[in-house]
């Protein structure tokens, strides 16, 4: 079956620090990969996605590259801001159901000024 393993949190950084949140997956077929973000008091929002190997998804300064050889989709940002404090979820869709997302457990990021 499908599964997603992401770095356990919480992660605490100072403003302008470099961020990496690791995500690896197991999937049948060729999955599409996603990062979702949940800001305090809000619903999950799609942050970025990649649908095939070597694709790079990017949004709001965040990037993640679909690495088929290492089955990974690590989230990175060069310089975090206080407003990036949120819970980040790695997820995938695979196996023919284009609506059934498989999520990781989420990583809480806190950025201090």
Partner 1 sequence: NAGVMQNPRHLVRRRGQEARLRCSPMKGHSHVYWYRQLPEEGLKFMVYLQKENIIDESGMPKERFSAEFPKEGPSILRIQQVVRGDSAAYFCASSRILESSSGNTIYFGEGSWLTVV
Q: How many Cα atoms are found within 13 Å in the side-chain-facing hemisphere of 4?
A: 25
Backbone angles phi, psi at 83, to 5 degrees: -70, -10
The CB-of-112 to partner 1 minimum distance in angstroms stands at 25
| Residues 7-66 close enough to bind partner 1 by CB under 8 A | 32, 34, 36, 41-46, 49, 51
Q: Does 111 bind partner 1 (CB under 8 A)?
A: no
The CB-of-104 to partner 1 minimum distance in angstroms stands at 5
> What is the Cα–Cα distance from 93 to 85, expressed in whole angstroms?
26
Which CB, 17 or 32, lies closer to partner 1? 32
| Cα angle 104-109-110, degrees, rounded to a multiple of 5 | 160
Residue count, binding to partner 1 (CB under 8 A):
25
- The label of the residue with tokens 């609506």 reads 99
Footprint on this chain of partner 1 (rule: CB under 8 A): 4, 32, 34, 36, 41-46, 49, 51, 89, 91, 93, 97-106
């Amino acid at each position: 079956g499908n599964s997603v393993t992401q770095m356990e949190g919480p992660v605490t950084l100072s403003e302008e620090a470099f961020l990496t949140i690791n995500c690896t997956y197991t999937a049948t077929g060729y999955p599409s990969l996603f990062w979702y973000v949940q800001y305090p008091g809000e619903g999950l929002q799609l942050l970025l996605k990649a649908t095939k190997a070597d694709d790079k998804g990017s949004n709001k300064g965040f990037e993640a590259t679909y690495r088929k050889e290492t089955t990974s989709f690590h989230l990175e940002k060069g310089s975090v801001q206080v407003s990036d404090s949120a819970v980040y979820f790695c997820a995938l869709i695979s196996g023919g159901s284009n609506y059934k997302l498989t999520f990781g457990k989420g990583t809480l990021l806190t950025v201090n000024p």
